[in-house]
Amino acid sequence: MIRHITLTLLLTALVFLPLSAMATGQDRAVKNVFIILSSDSPQTQGMAMVLANTLVDEGATVDVLLCDAAGDMALAQGDGGPKLAPRDVTPGKLLGALMDKGASVSVCALYLPNSDYTEADLAEGVSVAKPPEMTALMRDPEVRVFTF
């Protein structure tokens, strides 16, 4: 009888332990992402936006900080860069799609003072980053930071 109970408990543990481990792994999935993009390369900008859009589609919250030449993507009157194959879409259009999905987008605090643009030149919904808010994202253990 004791052997039967022990065997039953062991088999139950073998069935449910992997399931609980899988649930724990799912709970640890990245939910908050902070992307810092400063590259002037259209392909790098495009890939960063493709990945960011995919992350949002998978349920992540995404914040984007555009610095240096990448800040040009946030201009209201820009062309968004060259069209990229295979979908003939610009990095700027991918950024717009990301914002439509609820992502937060900011330009670096140094972008406007070191360019010919003002805050009025930014696309609707794009803000100027506040360093304390950006460092809070970078330090948050619940946020994964990616740089491009």
| 8 Å CB contact between 84 and 46 | yes
Domain ranges within the chain, ordered by starting residue: 1-29, 31-147
What pLDDT score does 26 carry?
52
Give the whole-angstrom CA distance, residue 9 versus residue 5: 6
pTM for this model (two decimals): 0.81
Which residues have CB under 8 Å from 103's CB, separation 6+?
A: 52, 56, 61, 62, 63, 64
Mean pLDDT, contiguous 10-residue spans, the chain (148 residues): 49 45 57 98 98 98 98 92 95 97 98 97 98 98 98
Q: Which CATH number fits domain 31-147: 3.40.50.300, 3.30.70.1450, 3.40.1260.10, 3.20.20.70?
A: 3.40.1260.10
What pLDDT score does 23 carry?
47
What pLDDT score does 78 carry?
81
Give the whole-angstrom CA distance, residue 28 versus residue 144: 12
